Amino acid sequence: MVVEALTEVIAPEGVKARLIATRTADISLPHAEKTDGRIVPLKHPEQSKVDFGAEVYGIDLNNLTDADFELISDALHKHKVLIFKEQPEMLTPQNQYLLTANFDPEETTGGFAHGADPFLTSHNNVNIYGIPSRPAVPVQPQVHILGRGEVPEGHYQFPPGFKIKGIDHREFHLPPHIPQEERDKGASRFYQWHWDGSLYNIPPPRVGCLLAVRTPKGPDVTVRWEDGTGTEMKIPPGATAYVAGSRALELLDEATRQIALHSRIEYAPHAFKWMSTAHSARLGHILETEGLELPRDKLPPVDESKICVYPMVWTNPKTGEKSLQVHGQGAVKLFLKSTPDGEEEIIDDLNQVREFMHKIMRPAISPENIYAHRHDEQDVVLWYNRALWHSITEFPESYGPRIMHQCNIAASDHPTG
C-alpha cells in the first residue's frame, strides 16, 4: 500500500475517476561532469542491529543533475534509506516526481502506484483528486499529501483550512485499543508493516520518497507491541519506522530460510478493499483470521491474470543482496518449496497462511532491528522499496500537524526474485 493509507482507491459508483497514469514531462536531467554530493552513513546506537541508512549533503534536489542522480542511485541501493539534509528550499512536487521517476526510466506511464484517484473536491476551478487521507497535489498528481492536520495556507491550490485525515488504529486494529488518555500521553503503535504496492495488477514502486512539510512537536512517543511480550520502544513523534528485508531473512532458522528462498506468495485481488472490513493484529504485520474480509462478490471485478504472485525473496539488482519482502496482511496463498526442484506445497487456509507470515516476519520486528526516522522539516527521505518494510506510528494530536508529500510511481516491472 502507499505507506500511510490503508485504502485502495476505488472510484465510487457514478463518479468518474481521473486516470493519472500519464507521464506528462521529460524526466531527463541536465548533464554535469561531477557532483558535490557527499554520503555520510548513519551512526546507530551500540545496541542496534540496524546496518542501513545514510545522510546526503551537497545536493540541491530542486536542481538535480545526472551526476547527482548517479551518486544517489548507487548510494540508495547500498544504504537503502537516504536522508537529504540542508536543502536550500522546500522540494517542489514537480522535482520530487522527477527524482522518483528517474529510478525507472523504462516506466512510460508515470502512473501513481495505486491507480486512479477519485474526485475529492475543487477550489478556485481547480479539481483535487484522491481520498481524505491522501489527496493528490494538483500540479503533480503522482505526489500525494499524507499525515494529519491542516495544510499550510495557500498550499499548492488547496482550499483554506484544508485538513488531512489522519490514520487511526481504532479503525483497523484488533481491539482492545489504546485508551485515549494514554494516547494523549504518547502511547503509540505501528500501524502497518508493509512495502508500498497495490498487490494487484500494478507493479510495486522501486523507490518511495517523502518530503517533510510540517512535523509534530513534542516528546518521544512509546510504541507498544501489545503481543504478550511486553515489548516497547521510544521513537520520535511522527517517525517512519523501517526494517531491512535482508535482516529479516538473516534471522530465520536455516530450514525456514531455505523455504523463503524458494517460495512464492499470492496476494488478494483488490487487497486493500478486501481487508477494509477486517482487523489487523495489534503489531500491524498480519490480519486476524475472523472471517471479516470482503467476499469476492463484494469486490470490484477481478481479472485472474492480474493477480500478483511474488517470490518471498527479492534481489537487489546492484548489490546482489537478498531481502525477505513479504506483505503479511495481503497474503492469501502460499506456494512453499524448500529446494529449487522440490515438491511444492500449496497453503490457502488463511489461518495457516497468517501463522507462516507471523513466523517469518515477527523476528525482524524487534527494537534492535528498527530504524525510526525523525523527520525534520524540509528534509527529504528516499528509500529502496524493494528491500525494506516500513510503518507509520501514531502521536498525540496536541503535537500539531504532520504534513508529508509522498511520491511513489508504479514500476515498469513486477518483482521476479
Same domain, 260 and 211: no
Per-residue confidence (pLDDT) for residue 278, from 0 to 100: 98
Tell me the per-residue pLDDT of 362-415, one tens digit each, with 9 for 90 and over. Answer: 999 999 999 999 999 999 999 999 999 999 999 999 999 999 999 999 999 999
Instruction: At 271, give phi and psi (nearest 5°).
Output: -55, -40
Tell me the per-residue pLDDT of 244-281, one tens digit each, with 9 for 90 and over. Answer: 999 999 999 999 999 999 999 999 999 999 999 999 99
Per-residue confidence (pLDDT) for residue 8, from 0 to 100: 44
The residue to which cell 502511547 is assigned: 187
The answer to whether 328 and 193 have CB atoms below 8 angstroms apart is: yes
Poorest-pLDDT segment among 15-19, 33-37, 46-50, 333-337:
15-19
Instruction: Record the cell numbers describing residue 172, joined without a space.
Output: 483497523
Same domain, 120 and 264: no
Same domain, 252 and 337: yes
- Helix segments in 152-308, DSSP class H: 180-184, 245-250, 254-262, 271-274
Q: Which residues contact 319 (CB under 8 A, 6 or more apart)?
A: 77, 78
Beta-carbon count within 10 A of 76 CB:
22
6 domain-assigned: no
Per-residue confidence (pLDDT) for residue 110, from 0 to 100: 63
Same domain, 256 and 236: no
> Checking DSSP bridges between strand 221-224 and strand 232-235, what pairing results, if any?
antiparallel
Same domain, 225 and 112: yes
272 domain-assigned: yes
Same domain, 116 and 126: yes
pLDDT band at 10 (very low <50, low <70, confident <90, very high): very low
Same domain, 278 and 217: no
Instruction: Record the cell numbers describing residue 134, joined without a space.
Output: 491522501
**In degrees to the nearest 10, what's the CA dihedral of 83, 86, 87, 89?**
140
> Checking DSSP bridges between strand 187-188 and strand 221-224, what pairing results, if any?
parallel
Same domain, 108 and 198: yes
Q: What is the DSSP code (8-state) at residue 146?
A: E
Same domain, 187 and 287: no
Q: What is the CATH number of the domain that holds 377?
A: 3.60.130
Beta bridge partners of 146: 404
Q: At what angle do helices 254-262 and 350-361 cross, to 10 degrees?
A: 120
Q: Across all residues in the chain, what is the average pLDDT?
A: 93
Cis preceding-peptide flag for 141 (omega within 30 of 0): no
pLDDT reading at 141 higher than 90: yes
Instruction: At 134, give phi and psi (nearest 5°).
Output: -160, 65
Same domain, 267 and 395: no
d(CA 212, CA 82): 14
40 domain-assigned: no
- Report the greatest alpha carbon distance in the chain: 62
Dihedral over Cα of 166, 172, 178, 179: its sign: positive
Average pLDDT in the 283-302 region? 97
Same domain, 329 and 218: no
Q: How many domains does the chain have?
A: 2
The residue to which cell 520502544 is assigned: 233
**In degrees to the nearest 10, what's the CA dihedral of 70, 76, 77, 79?**
140
d(CA 146, CA 136): 9
Record the pTM.
0.93
Instruction: At 210, give phi and psi (nearest 5°).
Output: -125, 130
14 domain-assigned: no
Same domain, 322 and 382: no
Question: Distance between the two ends of the chain, CA-based, in angstroms?
Answer: 20
Closest CA to 113 of 250, 241, 207: 207
234 domain-assigned: yes
Per-residue confidence (pLDDT) for residue 364, from 0 to 100: 98
30 domain-assigned: no
358 domain-assigned: yes
> Residue 297 belongs to what domain range?
245-364
- Helix segments in 134-186, DSSP class H: 180-184
Per-residue confidence (pLDDT) for residue 109, from 0 to 100: 66
20 domain-assigned: no
